[in-house]
Each structure stands twice: as C-alpha cells, then as structure tokens.
Amino acid sequence: MSGKPKLHYFNGRGRMEPIRWLLAAAGVEFEESFLEKKEDLTKLQKDGSLLFQQVPMVEIDGMKLVQTRAIANYIATKYNLYGKDMKERALIDMYVEGMFDLNELLMTYGFLPADKKEEHFANMMDKAENRYFPVFEKVLKDHGNDFLVGSQLSRADIQLLEIILMAEEWKPDTLAKFPVLQSFKARLSNIPTIKKFLQPGSQRKPLIQAEEVPKIISIFY
Amino acid sequence: MAGKPKLHYTKGRGKMESIRWLLAAAGVEFEEEFIETKEDLEKLRNDGVLLFQQVPMVEIDGMRMVQTRAILSYIAAKYNLYGKDLKERAWIDMYVEGTTDLMGMIMFLPFQQADTKEKNLALIIERATTRYFPVYEKALKDHGQDYLVGNKLSWADVHLLEAILMAEECKPDVLSAFPLLQAFKGRISNIPTIKKFLQPGSQRKPPTDEKFVAVVRKIFNI
C-alpha cells in the first residue's frame, strides 16, 4: 500500500484528466488502474467500490472518492489550490464551472458519430472563443496579476491551461485574439510541476484516437 | 437595496430550484426577478451581468454569482451547511453530485418528445431505485443518525429531500423499498424552515407543465 492516490478509469482523458492535472500541478505522485474491458468495470461495481456505480473513482486518504467535482474539490483544498477565503473560492468555483462546461464540449467531440461532428465542432469553438476565453482574458487583463484569482496558483489556473491546450489541439490559432491568455499559457506551462506534466512520458493522456472509441464505449455500454 | 440575495431566473424550477431550497432551508429571505421573455434575458446579457451569458445568476454579498454549483457551494459554506472539515465536505460533495445527476434527468423530462419521455421516465425510476436511493438508504442505515453527514443538517440532506419529492412526482410510491428514506423525508420536511418552504405561498416553484415548457423554449431559444 503506497499511500499514493490511486485513480480508476480507462486509459484516456475523459472526466479523469482534470484530476490528473490537479495532482500533477500539486506535485503529488499518483498511481493508475486502467479499465480495459467491461469486466473491469463490473468487478469494481460488484466490489462495492463505486458509490454510484461510476468512474472516475480515486482512492485517497482512506476514502474511495467518486464524482469528478467532489474529487477535484478535495484535492484542490488539500493542496492549497482553492483560494484563501470564501470569496476567492466563489470566484474560483464560477470560473471552474465555466471551464467544466467547455471541457464537456471538447471532451465529447471525439466520441461523436461522423454526422454530428461538424455542428458540434462549430459550437464548441464558438463557445471557447466567444463565451469562455473572453471572460478569462478580461479577468487577467483587469487585475493584471499572474493568476486568475488572488495572488497564488489555484485550480482555476490549472484547469484554464488544460482547456486552452485542448482547444488548441482542435484549432491551433484559437488564442489569436487573446494576447493575455497567450502569456498566461506560457507562464503557467513553465511552472516546474506543470512543465514536467507536459513532457512526454508523464501521466498526461493523449487526445483520443478514433480507433479507440469503440473499445471505450464497450466498457461502459 | 435590501441586502437580501436576489435571484435572476425564470419563474420555474430549472437549475435555480436547488438554490431556492438551500436558501429557504437556511432561513434566508431572498428576492426574485423573473425572466419572462427573450428580451429580459437579452437585457441581462447586454448589461454585462452574466459572466458566461447564462442564468442562474444570484446577487449576493456584492457579487453577481453564476453557475449553479458555485452558488450552492457559497451558500452552503456561508450558512454552515457544508460539514465541519474536509472529509465531511467530500461526503457532502459526493452525495450532492448524485442527487444533482438524478434531478438533472427529471428536470429535462418535460422538454422531451412523447416517445423519449416515456423511455426516460422509466430510466429515471430505475436509476432512482437501483443507483441513487440505495446509497442514501445505506448511508442512513450504517450510521443510524438523522442526517446524512456528521450528525447535523447539511446541504446533502436538503438536496436529497428535494430529489425525493421530485422523484415522487414521477412515481408516488418510489420510496416503497426505502423505509429509512421515508422516515428521513418525514423528519427533514418537519424542520421549521423547510416546513415553511413546503407550504403553499412559499417561493417554491411548481412542476413544469407543457405551457411553461413553451415559455422556456422561447426565452432560451431551445
């Protein structure tokens, strides 16, 4: 028993990726147990390890935490990535919820059938560039600080970097109109723990390939 | 300026209802400004008061808060409904995410076509009785206490009562296999602030009917 958090999910980004980012940014080593076939999920369900029969699940501090946000909230608080008081937490929560919404659009794109892709792509990039990025560009511009909230790194910064990079995978010039976000991206990427996570060989997962989709769907359905 | 929180939403349940429940349970008086037309929503957007151009939005403590979970977390923490430490918070968060998933399914039912509606209603009942309610029944059974977490009323209890009542609107005997949840329902409903909220004339909103679906579709263009 290593004492390290243990992540249960399939070997891909999905809903676990924001949690991998948070742990990595906090400098926390973690283990992963990958679901590769339906039987792996069924086993976890039968063992009573999944409160609502679903993954993500993270074994941490003697608990089997489920529900992405519950897990992320716990990790962020434990490792001081959640602001210094209630008002900072409120801002972080608002920003992060917006990012979760965008992440949902970016994450599901790879799983869509071909005929649904074009419209979804247009919608997700429209939301990224007209609803979400302008907000964060303005927040950073208005206060002129290095971090989105307060004077230190928080989960809001980490999650923003994550979705910027995901959006760029689909549209490399997505930050063209957002100079402050471009500097933010460079600055955050250079934080040592994050820089390490961005290097090949880390536990960061790659973009899902079309060939993998049927296998992943068969685990869950 | 009253100093009371001010809620901006339609005159229906939707995503704002859980916020109304939590404020009411905490005994906090609040005001509401209803979006009745597409133009009302456009005005809020043009005024720049909606961070991501969406509602719910709640004016509270000098902030214009958006995003349902952000608002609920803030209210829970402010009014001591979020447990006493990090571990209790983790349990509350997990339980609330479960009831959010269940209520999310129920919330969209009135907006579906007749054939999908029937299928989804069956799915809701199945999930309620095999995935969600067993978890809360077991939690109460295992510790034998009155409340889900930490032997004290929390956001998780208020949210669960809301989910139970919504599920019962779908199927009145949905709690038949869950004696502890039945007792829980009775007990939490009797808490004075909640009892008051459950009475006619409160700010609790009724289930969404076909007429209101049409209004919502027009406002949000869906």
Q: What is the pLDDT of residues A154-200, one digit of tens each?
A: 999 999 999 999 999 999 999 999 999 999 999 999 999 999 999 99
**Per-residue pLDDT, A149:** 98
**Per-residue pLDDT, A210:** 87
Q: B44 touching A, CB under 8 A?
A: no
Average the pLDDT over B14-29 and give the result: 98
CATH fold of B86-190 reads: Glutathione S-transferase Yfyf (Class Pi); Chain A, domain 2 (1.20.1050)
CATH fold of A86-190 reads: Glutathione S-transferase Yfyf (Class Pi); Chain A, domain 2 (1.20.1050)
Output the furthest CA–CA distance in chain A (Å, rounded): 51
Q: What is the pLDDT of residues B91-117, one digit of tens each?
A: 999 999 999 999 999 999 999 998 899
Q: Tell whether the model's pLDDT for residue B55 goes beyond 50.
A: yes
Nearest to A97 among B67, B89, B94 (CB): B67
In the structure, what pLDDT confidence band is assigned to residue B2 with cuts at 50, 70 and 90? low
The rounded distance, in Å, linking the Cα atoms of A216 and A111 is: 9
Nearest to A74 by CA among A123, A19, A127: A19
Q: Do domains A6-79+199-220 and A86-190 have the same CATH topology?
A: no
In the structure, what pLDDT confidence band is assigned to residue A151 with cuts at 50, 70 and 90? very high
The rounded distance, in Å, linking the Cα atoms of B66 and B73 is: 11
Asked whether the bond before B56 is cis by omega within 30 degrees of 0, the reply is yes
Read off the pTM: 0.97
Question: Which of the listed CATH numbers 3.90.650.10, 2.60.40.1730, 3.40.30.10, 3.30.428.10 matches domain A6-79+199-220?
Answer: 3.40.30.10
Distances (CA, A) of B19 to A39, A180, B136, B155, B219: 39, 34, 21, 10, 21
Q: What percent of chain A has pLDDT above 70?
A: 99
Instruction: Please state which architecture CATH assigns to domain B6-79+198-212.
Output: 3-Layer(aba) Sandwich (3.40)
Residue B197 is which amino acid? F
If contacts are CB pairs under 8 Å, which of residues 106-145 in chain B contact chain A? 131-132, 135
Q: Tell whether the model's pLDDT for residue B57 goes beyond 70.
A: yes
**Contact pairs from chain A to chain B, CB under 8 Å:** 75
Query: Quick count: other Cβ atoms within 10 Å of Cβ A21?
Result: 23
Which residue in B has a C-alpha nearest to residue A45's C-alpha? B131
Domain residue extents for chain B: 6-79+198-212, 86-190
Q: Which positions in chain B touch A67 (Cβ < 8 Å)?
A: 93-94, 97-98
Looking at every residue in chain A, the average pLDDT score rounds to 96
Nearest to B70 among A51, A66, A97 (CB): A97
Q: Which positions in chain B touch A86 (Cβ < 8 Å)?
A: 74, 77-78
Angle at A156 between CA A154 and CA A158, to 5 degrees: 75
**Interface pTM, i.e. ipTM:** 0.96
Which residue in A has a C-alpha nearest to residue B61's C-alpha? A87
Q: B84 touching A, CB under 8 A?
A: no
Domain residue extents for chain A: 6-79+199-220, 86-190
Three-class SS of residue A60? strand
In the structure, what pLDDT confidence band is assigned to residue B1 with cuts at 50, 70 and 90? very low
In the structure, what pLDDT confidence band is assigned to residue A2 with cuts at 50, 70 and 90? low
Which of B93, B101, B105, B129 is best to mutate for the A interface (most A CBs within 10 A)? B93
Which residue in B has a C-alpha nearest to residue A63's C-alpha? B87
